Structure 1
Amino acid sequence: MKKLFALSLLTFISFISYAQKEPFLVKTFNANSIENLDVRTSGGSIEVTGVSGSRTVVEVFVKGNGSLSNSEIEDRLRDYTLEVKKEGGTLICFAKSNIKNNWKKGLSITFKIKSPRNVDTELLTSGGGIHLTNLHGDLNFSTSGGGLHLKDLSGDVYGRTSGGGIHVNNIQDRVDLSTSGGGIEVTDAEGEIKLRTSGGGIKLANMRGQIDAHTSGGSVKASNIEGELITGSSGGSIRLERIVGSVKANTSGGSISADILEVGDFLVLHTSAGGIDVNLPMDKGMDLNIRGGRVTMAYKNFEGDFDKNHVRGKINGGGANVDISASSGHVNIN
């Protein structure tokens, strides 16, 4: 018989009768000894929440196709490797099917963990989402079959998904997130933030720092941004609201509207398939290079050359670099 569980003698184990909302297995560890989480499952989701206290708790949820009894689940688990154990400072949660080409006997095994807040993670699932809350550390995680739901995180945050969206609230420090199959929504973030999606739009709000956000399949909307914003879309419009700082935005498939409260070192806007409407603080010094099918602008304190398609010169003696171009549409500067 295959070994079903790798159990530590120092670990308290509690089995609970299985129901959809109850864990199949619960294990408890000394929280002070946990420095790393290594969690891998091929058929379920991963949820990690940072908590205070002396205990780290792992709950294992098991779900099959249709309604299964406890004995049926236990029988199917004989064809799985399922481990929940601690090695040194690393908590290991591992679930893998040993069944080949028989999805009807497959199980969804989900890990829900309450761990110390300060912890490093290596999380991997191919069949569900990843939920992380209240954690600080080197946080690495990826899924092929679900979304990323992230809240109250800090440190080095690196996440990937091929099959879902990304939802973020309150994240900081160094962040690198990407998805091939959904949109990205980020609220309340600060630091060096890199975002990529091939299959959806991007929504950003209340962010500060160096932000790099690009999509190949949707629009971009950003509001209340301070610092540096580099963004682009291959298939949608770009809408910027209440921006303070440097901006570079490019789209091949839509228009651009930008409300710039304060220009940083540069403002670069370009579209290949639409118009551009920009609100600028015209009392500040700027070097202008503006091109479009038709350019309209209030020429207050302007020195330079202009016609209906092009404006090149300085406002208020010059300053920040402002380069705006629309290949086939209008450019309107308010």
Structure 2
Amino acid sequence: MKTNKLYLTFFALLMTVSVYAQRNGEKPFFTKDFSETSLNALKVQTSGGSITVEGDRNSGVRVEMYVRANNWNGNEVSDDEIEDRLKLYDITIRRENDMVVAIAKLKDNNNMNWKKGLSISFKVATPRNFTTDLKTSGGSIHLASLTGEQNFTTSGGSIHVDGLKGNIKGRTSGGSIEATHCSDDVDLTTSGGSIKAESMMGNIRLITSGGSISLADLNGKVRAATSGGGIRADGIQGELDASTSGGSIRMQNLAASVKASTSAGSIEADFDKLGDFVSLSTSSGSVRVNMPLNKGLDLDLRGNKVSIDLKNFDGRMDKDRVQGSLNGGGIPIKLSASSGSVYVNQ
């Protein structure tokens, strides 16, 4: 409907009273409320700003839009200049059936002078049970207190999610990721930043191509992988699969089945309780493990040197290899250091 669409001509009427406050971070440039109780989905796209969505409303949806000039030369940009730049954009804020749509995009990417660009951000408040589809090419994404399917992508910003429940999938090409208090199915990937995940449960997949990973208080099936950083894990329950091509792995307070590997670092693991298996391997460092030895274990330990004190053991025990059954056998324990040593409870 016409009344649900925001036209650029309407911006000019609001410019005088809004721009100064927006620059100082006090007020949004524009606000629109949707009161329909049937709304259950949100789609937001912007080319140069951030997106924030919080599920803190009992009903209805509020969309706030923020506008900031890309001030390349450091000089103050006038209200008239911002008004002229807005004419280069198509802005849509409307309802489509049960979905709220907020889109800011350039009319002509090819002929755009980027020194005259704008950063157009959206902050949206929704009920908790809401589905989102979010995309920005140059800003960060923040999501909080939502239940449902969440899909979000940024080409150059960070991702921060808190209190999400459901099917959660996020991607960033150049920023860090921080996730807390999320559950069910969590799939987060970055091509160039670090990942921090705390207090989560469910099926959790965390991938980075160029940063470190920090995990704390996770319960479920956890997959964490990085191509260029170290991994730290504290308080993991369930199952952990951790791998890195260029760093060390440090794990403590484990009560889980664990598979961990690195090509260029050492591995340290401290178990409070063993899960169904342990498999740790490194190509160029040592493996050091503290774990209970009072249960039935099937040991396969390899390294330049293997150091472990054993009782009630049946099998092979050499300087560089220990293989056999402890306490009658049971949980498979495989520790391998191609060019380092293996230490158990040492």
Give the residue type in structure 2 aligned to 1:63.
R
Q: In structure 1, how many angstroms separate the alpha carbons of the residues matched to 2:130 and 2:70?
A: 34
2:148 is the alignment partner of 1:158: no
Superposed CA RMSD in Å reads 1.6
Q: Deviations over 1:169-205 (max 9, x none)?
A: 1110001100001000000000000110001000000
2:120 is the alignment partner of 1:119: no
User: Which position in structure 1 is the counterpart of 2:93?
Assistant: 84
User: Which position in structure 2 is the counterpart of 1:280?
Assistant: 291
Number of equivalences? 326
TM-score (normalised: structure 1): 0.95
Q: Deviations over 1:44-82 (max 9, x none)?
A: 000000013333111100011233333322221111000
Q: Deviations over 1:243-292 (max 9, x none)?
A: 11210000001000000122211100000010010001011110000000
User: Which position in structure 2 is the counterpart of 1:38?
Assistant: 43
Q: 1:31 offset after TM fit, Å?
A: 5.4
User: Which position in structure 1 is the counterpart of 2:151?
Assistant: 140
Q: Is the 8 A contact 1:235 1:253 kept in 2?
A: yes
2:265 is the alignment partner of 1:254: yes
Q: What does 1:166-185 align with in structure 2 at a 5 Å threshold?
A: 166-185=177-196
Out of 51, 59, 83, the residue aligned to residue 64 of structure 2 is 59
SS in 1 for 2:149: strand
User: Which position in structure 1 is the counterpart of 2:10?
Assistant: none
Q: In structure 2, how many angstroms separate the alpha carbons of the residues matched to 1:315 and 1:133?
A: 48
SS in 1 for 2:160: strand
Give the residue type in structure 2 aligned to 1:271.
T
Q: In structure 1, how many angstroms separate the alpha carbons of the residues matched to 2:61 and 2:77?
A: 29
Unaligned runs of 5+ in 1: 9-13
Q: Is the 8 A contact 2:168 2:187 kept in 1?
A: yes
Out of 192, 208, 228, the residue aligned to residue 197 of structure 1 is 208
Give the residue type in structure 2 aligned to 1:239.
R
Q: In structure 2, how many angstroms separate the alpha carbons of the residues matched to 1:292 and 1:313?
A: 16
Q: Is the 8 A contact 1:31 1:115 kept in 2?
A: no
TM-score (normalised: structure 2): 0.91
Q: In structure 1, how many angstroms separate the alpha carbons of the residues matched to 2:343 and 2:245?
A: 22
Give the residue type in structure 2 aligned to 1:42.
S
SS in 1 for 2:294: coil
Give the residue type in structure 2 aligned to 1:80.
Y
Q: Deviations over 1:102-132 (max 9, x none)?
A: 1011110000001111111110000100000
Q: In structure 2, how many angstroms separate the alpha carbons of the residues matched to 1:31 and 1:280?
A: 57
Q: In structure 1, how many angstroms separate the alpha carbons of the residues matched to 2:119 and 2:6?
A: 21
Out of 75, 91, 95, the residue aligned to residue 104 of structure 2 is 95
Quick check: 82-91 or 92-101, which moved more? 92-101
Q: Is the 8 A contact 1:148 1:166 kept in 2?
A: yes
User: Which position in structure 2 is the counterpart of 1:75?
Assistant: 84
Q: 1:97 offset after TM fit, Å?
A: 1.1
Q: Is the 8 A contact 2:143 2:161 kept in 1?
A: yes
User: Which position in structure 2 is the counterpart of 1:304?
Assistant: 315
SS in 1 for 2:182: strand
> Which has the larger share of strand?
1
User: Which position in structure 1 is the counterpart of 2:247?
Assistant: 236
Give the residue type in structure 1 aligned to 2:228.
G
Q: Is the 8 A contact 2:59 2:126 kept in 1?
A: no
Q: In structure 1, how many angstroms separate the alpha carbons of the residues matched to 2:30 and 2:228?
A: 41
Q: Is the 8 A contact 2:6 2:91 kept in 1?
A: no
SS in 2 for 1:33: coil
Q: In structure 2, how many angstroms separate the alpha carbons of the residues matched to 1:277 and 1:87?
A: 58
- Runs of at least 4 residues off by over 4 Å: none
Q: In structure 2, how many angstroms separate the alpha carbons of the residues matched to 1:17 and 1:295?
A: 70
Quick check: 261-270 or 206-215, which moved more? 261-270
Q: Is the 8 A contact 1:151 1:170 kept in 2?
A: yes
Residues 258 and 325 (structure 1 numbering): CA distance in 2 closer, same or farther, change over 3 Å? same
